[in-house]
Structure 1
């Protein structure tokens, strides 16, 4: 039996992806009674479960959007195996099944069951982000059907020492009575109203007790409390943090959140949906804070003229930036890559027609941080420069073709050409013949990539020491 189990492990671990691997496990159980017994009895083969099919869930499954009753039946079937599961990822649309899952996990922890071995836990609510139990939406209070309680302590308040990756998306828990969140390597909080986020002391405690944290993703969720509070807190050191995501925050929150930690070794930074407000204080605070950034994502982010000098200085404070993901951007922020950060003037190689097409702003009000260097202005022989001299790889999506073409043309004119670009499939179809030919003349390599797929260069840059 041990030989059979080892054979199954080899086949499963050799599978190229999780869904295929699980399919192999199930098909092996159909071969013979001995293989079925070996596969089912070996819990190490079943430490990741994907739900993909309709009830009775005979194969695999990555997304469940069913009635509360069906989910409850599924959870009942999983209960005897919960303590073996290493990775649990749940995606549900409505609140009722979400609450059933949270109650199931809470009851399991309170009822003296075997301790959990879970290493990765994610729960995603994919439904309307504005509907929350007990809150009013469009004049009506939402109360989940068959659920009088909506606040649960995760895992019943039982400590789960193996838990390393935690994601809470559009869902909330009883943060005060959930002690399992320390020694994390991934903390991912998304789409949670301020009043339902972890209180600031709890948020700081999670960070302080996770010194090996490598990824912090805060998307419209972070510490609860007054973002403009003047109370001083010492910054928590996160020396191993490599990936930082900041998305969908009102301007007053941004600087406050980042001020709670230092992370000098961040390599991958994402700024998403920062527009429509004055984010100047945030960008000014970020100048020089993450000097080791190699990958930068800018998504639906704008740059009004009054903060353009600050954004230029911020970009210039990331000299190692090599790879930029650009999505849903306009000329206003892309022009920041075309200014000399010492003189705060557009690069002299750019002709008036190019400057006009970008709508480049050349009259600024400076402060002590953004003021041009007088020695640079006085030196007629100095070579002009641009921010991010190593930037030579782009990944783009949902940008107007004309804007993208002019941007890569301008960087090349200024002496720092883009060598390779990955373009989303949906975007490449919007290029006409002459425009595509122009782009090919200015880029050595043009590749098509699926949105969300990691490229070879991205992986290499993240793995560099």
Structure 2
């Protein structure tokens, strides 16, 4: 039996096999997998099953059990031999792994799964579907379950919860997805229309949904509006988006809805008042004419609604993107929306802000004690300062600043210094800071106010901004901020203070390689190295081997991430964010 190399994420694996420092020979660990470590791996199992022939007749259960018993005895004998050997043998380990694997396959084949009670078999099927990696795989798994046998088909179709999550990714008229919708019966529904991630291998853009197609689809979907728990709609044109808005505003009461997202991804960038052939639909549209009693998550991207007739209370997530200023809520309405959601957990404003007022001092500030996740992006300095003037959120733990350019944003960092002291995850994507002594002092003070920062994510960040993470905060302190005791108890000088002393993880993409090397080597030189460096897989080819070598020398470990999936440190921080509030964010 062949044991294939298990894929791993370290970027080192992109290189040629390393040499053993002991004898200069090739290290076997770099060339061969260790069989006893990998015999039970999912990769090995999939490779084996893909080569197995489909059973063509009844299986002799007793014969298979006898073979499994023989293998068990053989495994015991070889393990005894292994224990008596003075050294570790790769060939013996491979023999044990092969025997164990053959026995495992036999036990799987003889397992009487069809004799399980229906409720237990249904639970098994649910685990299969819910453990799928992505929407496409979940769809395939559900179809596979109905193809095995008549019994499995009946059990699968009778379990309504297997079908209540529907991704409308098939072509119009969505026959397969609508069949899933029918099979869901009266179960709560999680529906995602045209939500997909564009893969680098995709040769052409997905087909755009026309206004008449979305009208047809929503006529079918909204018949079950009282069952819908999640509704995510992604459309390209404003015509289709307007039809979707109108259909939703005219439907019945969505008493079960907890999450609503409507995205317009195409041009123009901002929402433009429509004209013919949709004269009968006026704007701004009322999103819903009834109260949404369970709604917790609202995302509006590239569209505008009637903010003054928006019955929103107790939201945990507000995500608003690409709203033309004249269509945005005014300052008073924005304050009302924030006050109506005291448990707000996540606030994302990307090219969206309240309508400015002349007197900034008249702006009312809202307390947001539960806000943990805050994104601010794609706006000018005045608008960014205006957004911050409306809120006081001292316990933000994840801060993302994106596309803040075309002017000096130094005053923004001065404004937030001391306000977000609990930050553990910081993202800086394309933020412009003028290279001045004043800004250097502002940035050092800001970084010093984030002692809990553990992970930094950067993209197209300025080199001089990154180098500020290497500054000595002592050089920027006022006389009254100096340490009272400049020496350690043993009489030796104290260690050099560093900014963000808990900063352990770095992720970069679309970033100048030299600036990353300067940051990584600089943190290493001041005694505060990164323990892990993450590089997204699509960006890896842009990092030359010499750059990788220098990075590996200055970090504990260099890893490659898959697309935009959360890294383990991010998952840990998000778990801490959710655990730190009484209201936990639901992310379906």
TM-score normalized by structure 1?
0.83
> Among residues 330, 338, 341, which one is paired with 2:473 in the alignment?
341
Counterparts of 1:388-427 in structure 2, within 5 Å, are 388-427=500-539
Distance in 1 separating the partners of 2:156 and 2:366: 48
Counterparts of 1:73-84 in structure 2, within 5 Å, are 73-84=216-227
Q: Which residue does the alignment assign to 1:201?
A: 332
The Cα offsets for residues 173-201 of structure 1, whole Å up to 9 and x where unpaired, read as: 1111121x211111100111111112222
Return the offset for 1:233. 3.8
Q: Which residue does the alignment assign to 2:286?
A: 153
The Cα offsets for residues 228-259 of structure 1, whole Å up to 9 and x where unpaired, read as: 53343442222221111011111011122112
> Among residues 408, 416, 427, which one is paired with 1:297 in the alignment?
427
Return the offset for 1:115. 4.3
Counterparts of 1:96-135 in structure 2, within 5 Å, are 96-108=239-251, 113=252, 115-130=254-269, 132-134=271-273
Q: Which residue does the alignment assign to 2:317?
A: 186
Q: Which residue does the alignment assign to 1:363?
A: none
Q: Which residue does the alignment assign to 1:248?
A: 378
Q: Which residue does the alignment assign to 2:24?
A: none
Return the offset for 1:222. 2.3
In our comparison, the structure showing a higher alpha carbon Rg is: 2
Matched, 1:225 2:356: yes
Q: Which residue does the alignment assign to 1:282?
A: 412
- Contact 2:360–2:386 under 8 Å retained in 1: no
Q: Which residue does the alignment assign to 1:351?
A: none
- Contact 1:322–1:392 under 8 Å retained in 2: yes
- Contact 2:253–2:290 under 8 Å retained in 1: no
Compared CA separation, residues 39 and 208, structure 1 to 2 (3 A):
farther
Compared CA separation, residues 264 and 161, structure 1 to 2 (3 A):
same
Q: Which residue does the alignment assign to 2:560?
A: 448
Matched, 1:51 2:165: no
User: Higher helix share goes to which structure?
Assistant: 2
- Contact 2:297–2:317 under 8 Å retained in 1: yes
Distance in 1 separating the partners of 2:423 and 2:481: 28
Count residues with an aligned counterpart. 423
Q: Which residue does the alignment assign to 1:214?
A: 345
161-170 vs 323-332, which moves further:
323-332
Return the offset for 1:225. 2.8
Distance in 2 separating the partners of 1:143 and 1:288: 48
TM-score normalized by structure 2?
0.66
Q: Which residue does the alignment assign to 1:12?
A: 126
Distance in 1 separating the partners of 2:479 and 2:469: 16
The Cα offsets for residues 252-271 of structure 1, whole Å up to 9 and x where unpaired, read as: 11122112122222111001
Structure 1: which 5+ runs fail to align? 135-141, 345-369
Q: 3-state SS of the aligned residue for 2:542?
A: coil
Q: Which residue does the alignment assign to 1:169?
A: 301
Compared CA separation, residues 29 and 201, structure 1 to 2 (3 A):
farther
* RMSD of aligned Cα (Å): 2.8
The Cα offsets for residues 446-465 of structure 1, whole Å up to 9 and x where unpaired, read as: 01113421011111122235
> Among residues 558, 572, 583, which one is paired with 1:460 in the alignment?
572
Return the offset for 1:371. 5.2
Distance in 1 separating the partners of 2:164 and 2:361: 44
